[in-house]
Amino acid sequence: MCGFAGVINLNGIKNEKLRGPLTRAGERLKPRGPDACNIWMDNKCAIVNTRLAIQDLTSEANLPMIRGDLVIAYNGEIYNFKLLKNELLRLGHKFHTNSDTEVILEGWRAWGIDVLDKLSGMFAFVIWNTSTKQAFFARDRFGKKPLLLIEHDGKVTFGSDLAALECLLDYTPEISPVALDLYFSLRWIPEPLSIAEGIKKLPAGSVGVLNQNGLHLKPWYNLSEKNSPQKQNLASVTNSLVKTFDNAVGIRMNADVPIGVFLSGGIDSALVAASMRRASDKVESFTVGFEGVSSYYEERPEAKNVARILGTKHNELVISSKDVSASLINVFNSLDEPFADSSAIPTFLLSQAVKNNVSVVLTGDGADEIFGGYRKYQGELLSTYYRQIPSILRHYILEPLAKSLPDNKSNSFTNRIRILRRFMEHAGKDSIGRHVGWLQAMDSSEIERLIISNKSFGTTNLRSLVSDSRSASQDSDPINAMLYGDLVLGLVSDMLVKVDRMTMGVSLEARSPFLDHRIVEMATAMPSSYKLRRGAGKWILRHAFSDRVPTSVFSLKKKGFEVPIAEWLAGPLGDLTRRAIDPVKLKKQGLFDPLIPSIWYKNLEENRRDTSEKLWMLVAFQGWCEKFRPTMSI
């Protein structure tokens, strides 16, 4: 893994003025690449590239890499680079390193943009051709590695990190009102938007070409176009899935540094660990738990049992409220824009601890999105029956009753009530309305009351965003359309952002076998009944891998990687929360209604409503402001 930033101006650049900003950008990118940092410049292009050495640990593989008239700035990992290297050797190409970077560079020379279809891995890179004066920007199929850019004043400025990119600007961008709106709706900012006005994320599976005609972006990968006719033969699907999954795990175990696995008590990480054990006698696993909180959040006993049965060398991390308080400054520093998925905190702390043992971890990320693991997919199945109840009974009796019930996770009973309440709130809507309802943290009317400075209302339509994402699947199956929408929205802009930023914040590389493009394409080609059945999400995984892990793993109720954020905000993080919602300071900041957050906090403190998600969004936003927009900070 690595990080890069740079500037390309076809009219010419002033090198002496860029060295300082490039040096500062390199410092910002150091956690992404602590092993080396180099600056390269000519009269039109300037690049800084840091390196975390995983393949070929020698200095010859440092970045940026120059071969002839091609220069590459790179961040990522190509798992099939040895196969491609052999293919290129047969074509007469010569190599000076054993790195995947050089394979991309020589592959681009041999095949041009078609090399992207050959790559199996995660990547973002920029190639500058010193002869043709053209630049090419590329990002992997599912956006595992970030790449942001802005075209302004006749030049393109780019980076793996928003803060690093901003080091190369001569101004501080305004906050995007549309991005701010969507952040408080979703807890994260969907691509291609960023919090900085004018700076965009290169969409997943896209390529950009910069020449004298300007910068032009286009998709190079479209998952819906890869869908083959749905496979109905269960035996064939099962055999193909098992074989491909084991291969996906196997190629991700290729590294010149120690490797481990994040292990929870759930299906996904257990299957990754089981496949790793089939390939190696020595596998080290890591899990996390929380000190002194409800058993709802505890996964250590289940993970320990899986590790014992599989025979991994198992490690546990116990997080206390003091650990959380101490880590927040580093968590916010690792995030380059506001991000309020609270599971980022334990992900950071676990990654920090794991880095002492290994440099690479495999994870189970992606399985829930592509195989239907989240509770909301069960809710989608059950909504058919709920809508058969007369609407007058639903609207005037059942739903008001549900809203009056407790709303917290303090015990199994109140948590079931919480789930039922959320289900009934949205189950009676149409398919898009249900999808939006189960995705969002705040609806548009709440956001409009909260954000007093935002003039974007009416232009930001989450319903249209969800509808367009579902329609892009070109799948008439509503469950498959919902899964596709969550993959291109939530997976790319929430889950993968969390994992990338938190692991890279401590120089740890994370690899996700379930997001091997062959597995994702296979999953989208399956009928939804293979993935989702009443009471059983990820059904095909349970069926195909029933001999790999204990039956108890498949029977555990779905939890998700949740944290006791409500308990923390009202308890050990109370001072931080009160500071973030201080009415006097909010009024001076001029972005938010100064009174509404205090009402949220009172409801949480008095256990009337779980408003922790809303409060954490504001706390996380203020944490970002303090680090990256200090003039706006309260």
Contact present, 398 and 421 (Cβ < 8 Å): no
Q: What percent of the chain has pLDDT over 90?
A: 83
pLDDT band for position 457 (50/70/90)?
Answer: very low
Question: Mean pLDDT lowest for which of 210-224, 369-383, 552-566?
Answer: 552-566
First-to-last C-alpha distance (Å) of the chain: 35
User: pLDDT tens digits for 401-424?
Assistant: 877 777 776 666 777 888 888 899
User: pLDDT tens digits for 182-219?
Assistant: 999 999 999 999 999 999 999 999 999 999 999 999 99
pLDDT band for position 458 (50/70/90)?
Answer: very low
User: Which residue matches tokens 């101006």?
Assistant: 9
User: pLDDT tens digits for 311-327?
Assistant: 999 999 999 989 999 99
Contact present, 162 and 148 (Cβ < 8 Å): yes
CA distance 171 to 200: 16
Q: What percent of the chain has pLDDT over 70?
A: 96
User: How many residues are given for the chain?
Assistant: 634
602: which residues sit within 8 A by CB, 6+ positions away? Answer: none
User: pLDDT tens digits for 146-195?
Assistant: 999 999 888 999 999 999 999 999 999 999 999 999 999 999 999 999 99
422 exposure class (CB count in 10 Å sphere: 0-12, 13-18, 19+)? middle
Read off the pLDDT of each residue in 12-20 and give the average, rounded to a whole number.
93
Q: Is the pLDDT of residue 441 over 50?
A: yes
Torsions phi, psi for 46 (to 5 deg): -135, 130
- pTM value is 0.95
Q: Is the pLDDT of residue 429 over 60?
A: yes
Read off the pLDDT of each residue in 8-20 and give the average, rounded to a whole number.
94
pLDDT band for position 229 (50/70/90)?
Answer: low
User: pLDDT tens digits for 28-37?
Assistant: 999 999 999 9
Domains and CATH numbers, the chain: 2-221 (3.60.20.10), 225-372+494-555 (3.40.50.620), 391-425 (no CATH), 564-634 (no CATH)
CA distance 65 to 71: 6
pLDDT band for position 286 (50/70/90)?
Answer: very high
At 291 the pLDDT is 86
Q: Which helix (H) or strand (E) holds 40?
A: strand 36-41
